[in-house]
A and B are shown apart, each in its own frame.
Chain A
């Protein structure tokens, strides 16, 4: 486990450092340089935050009052975005709260924790060893997992309500990410395939309807279908990103050799930093970046399968999917595989909220890893895959 944790940290550090280089490279105007400085500050904060979280016992989070407080604060912040004077509108989306960054970013670890806690309780109550055995256990298990409301609707709401709020902020990318994380965790928690399929179909069809009736989103979708044809209008960003990545070739233009970064790709320092990576480091560099995220995924999979309890299992699964999915979606947007979403690239894009939220996810993942080792497991959680000694039944 120590090795895995080391690999995980190395991957994250490598991504952060490469991100810094790229950020420096995209800052071609003197006015852009403060960004670099700010990013350094956030990385320093991450340097303190991650070890603290790793050493912290994640089980502490799995307490009813803590969960309630986290959930309420997150909900309030997400709502605060809509209050005029508190919320700040940036690029047509209400994403910011004055003085507190982007609540949607911080909602990521919170929602993952809440979901993990709920699903842990649900599955624990189903398969508590000794409580029910044989036929009766099977029946009870069947009944409980079939209970649509408990096993599916409520967790869907836990993930779905924040997602809807973020959706209302006009941040469709993060909302979609939330939906996908929720579905992934439900998948792992054993929701029935039919429920999953139904939800997925429902979500996709409602998205299609919403896109069809929202001119801005429809335009983005049409742009996605033909970036070159829309290169003079809405497709400019995507098309320039494709040109930048494509002109990188196999070897790239070397660090700081990018010419297309000079204002051609808007938001190059945040959502489209991959365009700069693609142009400057070429196929090799981009592949290394993808491999680093793949490394995080593999480490996460190892950690979650060695988690000491179900909460840890779901927490690790949620954090891993959040990081890798976000990375995948960002790269897919930059290479025009999916419509433009507006998600930052974890650890590399400029942006404090996003960076801190990702560090929290990594911290939680590390905490699950750190506390999986039998020697470090606190007394009350005796064994892996065993229900907690203290049964906090929320429902």
Chain B
């Protein structure tokens, strides 16, 4: 072997040694210098935070009827990786499956592809949401149709690349992800109370945006299950790598105090009033005075909680709690209660009503269209004399009246479980003008919400005890066990039971022969008060824009229900006694049947009965005249 051979062997040896040296250097580069970077990138593939979506709880009425529930749906996506080179072909196949327009579909995909190519440098085209809320039975046929699809490839002899392509296309052209959809089985009923949900926030698929859905969101939403772990390349979890695990806790069910049947009765009655008087809105709240439970709360015009976007946002408003009004004459009941409680007046005490016009401290006060001379206090209420009540208030005194108002819960939010509740507004006594007391006494110069008014009436109905309004009766765990129950709560005794009884007695006159005759219900004693308030824009009263209301209770002796009806801006400027009282009667008529409230008054004769239905004690004369 010559020395040349030795050199050649050395050359080969050197080449091989150099190879090993390069490999070792490469290992150092990868495992030492780039270790951190590569390990992070490797973990990015492996680490998963699997989220198991909590099921949003139901909202039910007091009898367990479902008001809002969650249904499973699927959102269908396109994986644009496989779409990139086959947009038209895939759009042609997919469009009829999903019931979409083919050209529109291709356009959307192209647009998304173009925008993604511009934005992401690593060329990941991402995914595109093609269709929302596909119901679970709809999805498997779509999926199977794609799994059978040949995508224009000759299936009998495929190259391995084509086979891979076909597999990818069948698997990834469309895929579905689970989603939840909120369903309101009763349509527009109770819409303003229930509110609606929007797309998810902080990890939940559904997020309450309005009404109870928003205020009870934290209970309804539940807690998502989280499982931090690693996965293999196929996406299966490697159970031994689990580092953190939070079990899913489905949302609680909210049981409301609402009675869906009564709610529908109320909504039906309001709808009739809407059709008859064409007001801008009509609302009603029914309260059980002994507990403060809200049995029905309706606002019209309503919206569809399913698709709130299809109605103007003005219809979302819950007028009962969010709007404040100068309620007018219905407030006289509170003034009367304050006066009786104080012993300032007696029910049969005569008041001089100045023949319909009274100038007090240079400001005129009128009894609208009437010239009353001397009326007893109870007549003042029945006939709704402004002058009479201004004088009663003067007897009560400014501070005492203000104290009574706040004592009845006005000027403070009731704390009902709904968002955007108004506390109402009343100026502090120090800011009152000398004539303020005469205006406050008849429900002017300050504003309250309809719910506050209803609760104040309920206090009178409940022998003077003011209750906390209850809308949510119970929260139940997802498995049905009770989580918590809201107990009726007496806030305070605002008047003595005797005073409350006297006020109710005076209120009976309103229905029997006063302004609220339209509310009379045969067989039942009704106590109530009408109100017809002029609306103001904050500076002056707006002519022709009235707020008509009626708040009543049935039966008057031991009231089982307080019903507050308000009709806002009826088209033909009617009185509350004309517009709102019949709505009250219609609701009360069906409500007493529903709750089995026994009649407490004899019905004299069929003729009287018909007369009573019309609310006019002497109407039988008219009927006879007509018969003649």
Contacts and interface: CB of A to CB of B under 8 A. Distances in A.
A216 to B, nearest CB: 8
A294 interface: yes
A328 B23 contact: yes
B38 A243 contact: yes
Interface of A: 28, 91-92, 127, 184, 187-188, 190, 229, 232, 240, 242-250, 259-260, 262-264, 278, 282-283, 286-287, 290, 293-294, 297, 301, 304-305, 313, 317, 321, 324-325, 328, 331-332, 335, 337, 385
Given A187-B8, A283-B32, A286-B27, A246 B232 contact: no
Interface stretch (B40-48, B169-177, B418-426, B616-624): B40-48
A28 to B, nearest CB: 8
Contacts of B241: 259
A386 to B, nearest CB: 11
B31 A282 contact: yes
Interface in B1-51: 1-2, 4-5, 8-9, 11-13, 16-17, 19-20, 22-24, 26-28, 30-32, 34-35, 37-39, 41-43, 45-46
Interface of B: 1-2, 4-5, 8-9, 11-13, 16-17, 19-20, 22-24, 26-28, 30-32, 34-35, 37-39, 41-43, 45-46, 81, 122-124, 160, 230-234, 238, 241
Contacts of A28: 232
Q: Most B CB atoms within 10 A — which of A184, A245, A385?
A: A245
Q: Most A CB atoms within 10 A — which of B1, B31, B124?
A: B31
Contacts, number: 127
Nearest to B11: A187
Majority secondary structure of chain B interface residues (helix, strand, loop or mixed): helix
Contacts of A321: 12, 16
Contacts of B81: 232
Contacts of A304: 9
B398 to A, nearest CB: 79
Given A232-B124, A259-B241, A262-B232, A249 B9 contact: no
Nearest to B121: A229
Given A244-B42, A321-B16, A190 B30 contact: no
A77 to B, nearest CB: 24
B29 to A, nearest CB: 8
Contact of A187 (B12, B24, B42, B45): B12
Given A184-B12, A328-B20, 4 more contacts: A232-B122, A245-B31, A260-B45, A262-B46
Contacts of B32: 249-250, 283
A262 B124 contact: no
Nearest to B35: A249
Contact of B233 (A264, A287, A328): A264
B12 A290 contact: no
A322 B230 CA distance: 40
A321 B12 CA distance: 9
Contact of B160 (A92, A243, A244, A335): A92
Contacts of A259: 46, 230, 238, 241
Contacts of B233: 262-264
Contacts of B231: 262
Q: Most A CB atoms within 10 A — which of B22, B28, B233?
A: B233
A385 B6 CA distance: 13
Nearest to B122: A229
B240 to A, nearest CB: 10
A247 B39 contact: yes
A36 to B, nearest CB: 19
9 contacts: A190-B2, A232-B81, A248-B31, A262-B238, A290-B27, A294-B17, A324-B16, A335-B26, A335-B30
A92 B11 CA distance: 37
Contacts of B234: 263
A182 to B, nearest CB: 13
Contacts of B35: 246-250
A92 B28 CA distance: 34
A247 B37 CA distance: 8
B119 to A, nearest CB: 16
A246 B238 CA distance: 21
B113 to A, nearest CB: 15
B160 A188 contact: no
A35 to B, nearest CB: 18
Contacts of A264: 45-46, 232-233
B40 to A, nearest CB: 9
Contacts of A91: 160
Nearest to A186: B8
B20 A293 contact: yes
B30 A242 contact: yes
A250 B39 CA distance: 12
Contact of A243 (B24, B45, B230, B238): B45
A297 B31 contact: no
A313 to B, nearest CB: 8
